[in-house]
């Protein structure tokens, strides 16, 4: 959905001069070593397991922001603390320029970065590493959704029992009215797969408030919607967190901070995939606008957060934007310029849509990465109707759900490897460009390539994880392995010799375990979560 802003010529220059948006960066954090040595004090068990599975270190960025620093900043008159980021160790404040400048006197403040770049000096940025968003309007019988699912070969995944089971997707959007009552989401509700969510701008758990913008409900239906013969999403058996980060009526920099805060929450909950159908380039106050040169993956606040989310092992899927025909900003917006899977739009006949934003990034990387249907996309509305809509907003969730279902086949692979396999399977992989990227993925081909990847792997692979009864494993060498399983505090729970391919954990209690596999000179451990 595109938000249109009506500007009047007779506006004084003081209209935007009353308040400023800024990020206040801190020098340190409390109890870093103790938190890292006890990761379950700052992360969920699933998050710890995902990081272990992909050999991702738990580091300084995972430790929460110092709450005493926040309290001191909140004590300043005319300063409003709107959001915080543990990854970037900062808070987003809104206030008068003079009041914000006073924060520099605090001993724990390292720097301040203003959303209006004209207020910044290079010394202030030592910690830094047009409205284009919310784009408009088994064998399943997909009904009206058939073309948008089959175009990607996602029906092949579903026919092979790859429907997102065991994967968790976080949706960052503008609101999710009525997901708690709509029949199209009854499946995920009844199966306990609507895991919750949060309204970050409203600081409330009421993310499905019927008064909120309905864009998130439409987007979610492309992944989780399930009414056979009418609509089936691309990941109908995944589990979902729903995070409102967007204030639909306005466009201000604080929405980027809410985006990063939600991504951090997703990481701490062990989310596998983030879908974001949001794009930032032009703001209500032109002083905050980004330029094409800013789209380098390192400048925009949301892009910095998205890149860290990728580093943390999350597959981040982002709409490229609807500005392809714009004379002002035809390129992709943040965070689509980050190290993420950026999605453009094609019509039902696989032709690029003119509104789909184009690359490259400012540093020359190809964007978008891939394409999916972005016109005549069937979605479910909060009043329980099926409608056809347009925009890269809907290309992105079709891709995110498909990617989650695909990743289910081998969750041991990294998010970066999954992105590579998706690109390599796409229609334009031999000659990628900045109009359609690598083209339209073929998940049937990606699955074939994935099987080859698994077969030639020299690493230990365990699946599914989390596990209910039987844990399967593939190892570099044939023959039996010596297996030892410990609980989370190191007590030996099970020891077996000559174990091959499968382990029966049906008698284990729910919890976190460590499995050690040994054979000759091979010795590797994996964290296992028992459901």
Q: Annotated catalytic sites, by residue?
A: 173, 215, 393
> Which residues share a beta bridge with 344?
371
Residues 395-406 as b or e (16 or more Cβ within 10 Å = b) = bbbbbbbbbbbb
3-state SS string for 329-387 = CCECCECCCCCCEEEEEECCCCCECCCCCECCCCCCCCCCCEEEECCCEEEECCCCCEE
- Nearest CA to 65 out of 80, 85, 48 is that of 85
- Calculate the alpha carbon distances from 518 to 297, 409, 465, 473, 515 in Å: 42, 25, 20, 13, 10
- Calculate the alpha carbon distances from 114 to 93, 158, 379, 457 in Å: 10, 47, 38, 47
CA neighbours within 13 Å on the CB side: how many for 434?
15
Tokens at 348, concatenated: 């039902």
- Calculate the alpha carbon distances from 150 to 81, 141, 154, 220, 227 in Å: 46, 11, 6, 18, 17
Q: How far apart are CA 10 and CA 12, in angstroms?
A: 7
Q: How far apart are CA 23 and CA 95, in angstroms?
A: 11
User: What is the DSSP secondary structure assignment for residue 292, as one 8-state letter?
Assistant: G
Q: How far apart are CA 396 and CA 166, in angstroms?
A: 20
Q: How far apart are CA 432 and CA 441, in angstroms?
A: 12
Torsion of the alpha carbons at 1, 370, 352 and 184, rounded to the nearest 10: -50
- Nearest CA to 511 out of 482, 479, 487, 484 is that of 487
Q: How far apart are CA 16 and CA 10, in angstroms?
A: 13
Residues 19-42 as b or e (16 or more Cβ within 10 Å = b) = bbbbbbbbeebeeeeebbeebeeb
Supply the DSSP string of 381-417, one letter for each residue: -TTS-EEEE-SHHHHHHHHHHHHHHHHTT-TTS-HHH
Q: How many residues does the chain have?
A: 531
Distance of CA 114 to the CA centre of its chain: 25
Q: How far apart are CA 202 and CA 223, in angstroms?
A: 25
Yes or no: say if 85 and 443 are a contact pair by the CB < 8 Å rule. Answer: no
- The angle subtended at Cα 503 by Cα 500 and Cα 505, nearest 5°, is 170
- Contacts of residue 55, defined as CB under 8 A and 6 or more positions apart, other chains included, come to none
């Amino acid at each position: 959905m595109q938000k249109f802003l009506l500007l009047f010529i007779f506006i004084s220059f003081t209209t935007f001069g009353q308040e400023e948006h800024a990020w206040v960066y801190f020098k340190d954090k409390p109890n870093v070593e103790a938190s890292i040595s006890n990761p379950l004090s700052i992360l969920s068990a699933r998050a710890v397991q995902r990081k272990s599975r992909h050999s991702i270190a738990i580091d300084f960025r995972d430790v929460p922001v110092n709450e005493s620093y926040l309290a001191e900043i909140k004590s300043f008159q005319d300063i409003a603390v709107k959001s915080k980021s543990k990854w970037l160790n900062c808070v987003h404040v809104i206030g008068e320029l003079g009041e914000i400048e006073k924060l520099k006197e605090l001993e724990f403040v390292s720097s301040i970065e203003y959303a209006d770049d004209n207020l910044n000096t290079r010394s202030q940025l030592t910690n830094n590493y047009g409205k284009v968003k919310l784009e408009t309007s088994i064998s399943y019988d997909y009904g009206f959704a058939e073309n948008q699912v089959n175009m990607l070969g996602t029906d092949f995944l579903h026919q092979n029992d790859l429907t997102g089971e065991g994967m968790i997707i976080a949706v960052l959007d503008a609101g999710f009215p009525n997901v708690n009552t709509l029949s199209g989401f009854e499946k995920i509700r009844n199966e306990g797969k609507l895991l919750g969510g949060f309204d970050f701008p409203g600081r409330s758990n009421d993310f499905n408030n019927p008064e909120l913008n309905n864009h998130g409900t439409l987007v979610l239906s492309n992944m989780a919607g399930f009414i056979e013969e009418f609509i089936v999403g691309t990941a109908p058996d995944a589990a979902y967190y729903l995070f409102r980060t967007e204030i639909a009526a306005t466009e201000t920099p604080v929405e980027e901070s809410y985006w990063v805060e939600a991504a951090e929450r997703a990481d701490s909950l062990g989310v596998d995939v983030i879908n974001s159908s949001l794009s930032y380039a032009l703001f209500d106050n032109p002083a905050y606008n980004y330029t094409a040169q800013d789209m380098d993956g390192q400048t925009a606040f949301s892009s910095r957060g998205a890149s860290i989310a990728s580093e943390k092992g999350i597959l981040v899927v982002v709409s490229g934007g609807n500005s392809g025909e714009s004379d002002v900003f035809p390129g992709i917006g943040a965070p689509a310029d980050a190290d993420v899977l950026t999605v453009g739009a094609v019509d039902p006949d696989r032709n690029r849509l003119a509104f789909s934003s184009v690359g490259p990034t400012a540093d020359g990387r190809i964007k978008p990465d891939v394409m999916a249907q972005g016109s005549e996309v069937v979605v479910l509305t909060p009043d329980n109707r099926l409608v056809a809509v347009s925009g890269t907003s809907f290309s992105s969730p079709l891709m995110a759900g498909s990617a989650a279902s695909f990743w289910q086949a081998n969750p041991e692979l990294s998010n970066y490897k999954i992105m590579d396999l998706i690109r390599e399977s796409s229609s334009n992989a031999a000659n990628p460009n900045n109009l359609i990227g690598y083209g339209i993925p073929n998940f049937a081909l990606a699955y074939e390539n994935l099987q080859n990847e698994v077969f030639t792997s020299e690493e230990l692979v365990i699946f599914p994880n989390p596990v209910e009864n039987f844990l399967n494993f593939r190892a570099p060498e044939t023959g039996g392995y010596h297996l030892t399983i410990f609980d989370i505090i190191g007590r030996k729970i099970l020891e077996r010799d000559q174990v091959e391919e499968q382990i029966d954990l049906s008698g284990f209690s729910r919890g976190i375990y460590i499995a050690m596999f040994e054979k000759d000179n091979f010795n590797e451990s994996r964290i296992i979560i028992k459901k």
